Amino acid sequence: MKRRKFIHILQYCVNNKESLIVYNLDRLTRNWDDVTYIERIFRDNWEYTKLLSTCDTVDFSDASGRMMFRLKMAVSCFMPEDMKEKQVIGIDRAKREGKYKGGKKGRKWKR
């Protein structure tokens, strides 16, 4: 919902009865609130406005199609949250073991 240009694209698709083509559904968003908004936009306008993915089948015309969309998007939303939680656990453990002192902004890493 914070991506104004994306909202503009969705509104353009609906107003002009155009379809939105994405490479993969997980590229749409990784925010669950956005998923429900996107689903509502396409579900309410499915007759004229389609969401097409080169990697996934999307069909908002029936309950099973909507369920598959929700499942795929749930996995997409879960992954970054899970990674962040594991990162926090790892940093906390490293701090307890004295291995992590914190990074410096703008630090350039040598290869």
pLDDT by residue (tens digit) across 68-107?
Answer: 999 999 998 898 888 889 998 988 888 888 887 666 555 5
Q: pTM of the prediction?
A: 0.71
Question: pLDDT digit string (tens) for 28-62?
Answer: 888 888 899 999 999 999 999 999 999 989 999 99
Helix-helix angle 32-44:4-15, to 10 degrees: 10
pLDDT in tens, 13-32: 999 999 999 999 888 888 88
Contact 65, 73 (CB under 8 A): no
> Which residues are paired to 35 by β-bridges?
none
Q: Which sequence spans correspond to the domains of the chain?
A: 4-96
